[in-house]
Structure 1
């Protein structure tokens, strides 16, 4: 039996200034266009950027593609997120491992890798904070959002 359609999705990366806020904005836009009222948020596993806007280069790449990240602010995942969200998507395997360390005992919220939804045979969205490839990260995020959306419809 397939997983039930989530009512809320959280996307998680390391600092919540590149991959996950971009995915939040892209997924929110695509869900709205499809008429699906699913709550979307993002968070980071680390606390270095809490309260900061997304990385300026990520804002610029997203803006060129028609997404506005300017109002988003970084936050760190908290154990309560496992109760608030039905599906948690991790940007890479390291983020998924970090999520499992935060997961409350006995919680069964589905937490999986986000990149495989892109259908490109990859398990991670490379972190543009380190690679400098903000457009490439955006492209993979868009593909993963499209793959997820096709499964939700």
Structure 2
């Protein structure tokens, strides 16, 4: 079983949905977790607009509770997938040498735009992009 950690800024929108979509698509092949760089929403449910966007695609994100990233979580993972380049840059700064090869962008060569502060359509577009991106991580 491959272990994947998805990471965004607050574990409030993008990385929780990416983890849910990957777990759904990967089935027993993947163990997926998510975390955020900051603890601002720690213990809180996902953003309501992302919950709604996920629901439109047939996913239930209501059980999610935000978690802050730990070094142990990065050590646990076989792959650590950042939702955008700024998150990836921080991950590169804080992780040890052993974790560096595990790091990458969720979409491979581009960012998943952060929908925070935008309208519902931005969250819907973000969720569609994330769900489509699961294909990059399933063998």
The question of a shared fold, defined as TM-score above 0.5 by the shorter chain, is answered with yes
Shift of 1:130: 3.3
Provide the alpha-carbon RMSD of the alignment.
1.6
Q: If the length of structure 1 is used for normalisation, what is the TM-score?
A: 0.83
Rg comparison, structure with higher value: 1
* Structure 2: distance between partners of 1:115 and 1:107: 19
2:8 matches 1:7: no
Q: How many residues align?
A: 137
Shift of 1:46: 1.0
Structure 2 unaligned regions, length at least 5: none
Q: If the length of structure 2 is used for normalisation, what is the TM-score?
A: 0.91
Give the aligned partner of residue 57 of structure 1.
49
The residue correspondences of 1:88-107 to structure 2 (distance < 5 A) are 88-107=80-99
Shift of 1:105: 4.9
Structure 1's consecutive aligned runs of 4 or more residues displaced over 4 angstroms after TM superposition are none
Shift of 1:142: 1.1
Give the aligned partner of residue 30 of structure 1.
25
CA contact (8 A) 2:7 2:87 kept: yes
Determine helix, strand or coil for the equivalent of 1:43.
strand
Shift of 1:148: 1.9
**1:106–1:26 CA distance, 2 compared to 1 (3 A):** closer
